[in-house]
Amino acid sequence: MAIQWCPLLLLMVVVYMIAYGRAAKASTHSAALTSASKPADLPGAPISVNYFPSRKCNYTCGFCFHTETSSYVLTIPEAKRGLKLLREAGMQKLNIAGGEPFLYPRLLTELLRYGKEQLGLESMSIVSNGSKIKESWVQANAKWLDILAVSCDSFETETNKKIGRGDDGGNVERLFKIAEWCKTYGVKFKLNTVVNAHNWNQDMVADIERLAPFRWKVFQCLIVAGENDNEERKRDATKFLVTDEQWRTFCDRHKHLPCYVPADNASMASSYLNLDEYMCFLDKGDGPMTKSQSILDVGVMPAMQQVRWDKESFLERGGIYDWSKQEARMRERILSGRKIQHCNFIAR
């Protein structure tokens, strides 16, 4: 049996190495980018960045911690310049959030294509409320998009309305359509949920199993000073907070699901590297929110030094995970090849 398997395995390894080499070559457009190919080895490198190109949103989620206090949006050339600076500093993954990013579909397309084709980023993802996503857009942009995440806090229409996630009642229907589009066009589907006063006692197991996201990020409702900390702000999240006991109740009910990834308030503080619409880093950890100067003005590393980013906490909470669909596809092909060869061997 070993004689039958060895040539096939050797061929698969060679194919994988060639494919991986091509992907690596695409990410080395300059000496600066080459030096950033292993960002985990560079102290303080911005491995994974959450970029909020706009604060504008068509929903009014009551606990939102990045509220619509500005209508500013960078020009596409300036946004690309900022991404290049981040890549040169060691960024490997870019997550585009908001606001609602699909209010600007052309901007998304331009950033995705630039990030993959010119910067050679390992992973590019988007977080959306799902209301504006169209199948035609997913089909056209799937080649550059690794992960599409949709925020869903409940599978009950009335609960979503109480939270502020639209009022047409179509959230859940759209969610399942988007999950199917991702499957059809080869994009990894992710789900985000905020545990709050309106959903902490709900059982989502059956619906999550039907959706089958590769990753389900479950956040505890968070207060960010200056954004959602009282009734004088755009949003007042104090009405949506859950107790530690309520948080644990929700977690215990769902923790057996393989895709489940919890993120309580302690793990979120200063472990995310957030970049606002002006490309200023935001420190949304304990205490009042602070922000850096724009990386477009002072550069990435000087700007990072003006805020707190706890890289150790980032790593401890699983900030680096299976975020590239290219690697996942290669593993699937190898496993599929093994199964086919094994079946042929048995047939003989």
As annotated, the active-site residues are 57, 61, 64
Selection from 248, 194, 260 nearest residue 221 by Cα: 194
* Alpha-carbon gap, residue 316 to 268, rounded angstroms: 11
